[in-house]
């Protein structure tokens, strides 16, 4: 799946509550797929992750990427 930077920003804006009634989802024009943003606590604690033994574990991130995230960039 490929998402444009614009679509990624839209998902983040929706997750941050813009608009406040947002379902945090972008749906393809032909309804062939959708992408939904979830809060970390919901995503990483979801029961479906129990099958892979990864409940609560976000995975490893490259240090440069993590530093950029922490900077707010």
The pLDDT tens digits of the residues spanning 10-38 come to: 888 887 877 888 888 888 889 888 888 88
Question: Percent of the chain at pLDDT above 70?
Answer: 86
Dihedral angle computed from the Cα positions of residues 29, 34, 37 and 41, in that order, rounded to the nearest 10 degrees:
170
CB 27 within 8 A of CB 34: yes
Q: What is the pLDDT of residue 54?
A: 67
Q: What one-character-per-residue DSSP string does 27-56 give?
A: E-TTSS-EEE---HHHHHT-GGGGGGT-TT
């Amino acid at each position: 799946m490929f998402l444009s930077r614009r679509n990624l920003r839209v998902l983040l804006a929706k997750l941050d509550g813009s608009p406040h009634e947002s379902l945090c989802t972008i749906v393809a024009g032909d309804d062939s797929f959708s992408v939904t943003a979830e809060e970390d606590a919901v995503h990483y604690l979801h029961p479906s992750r129990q099958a892979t033994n990864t409940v609560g574990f976000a995975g490893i991130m490259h240090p440069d990427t993590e530093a950029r995230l922490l900077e707010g960039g």
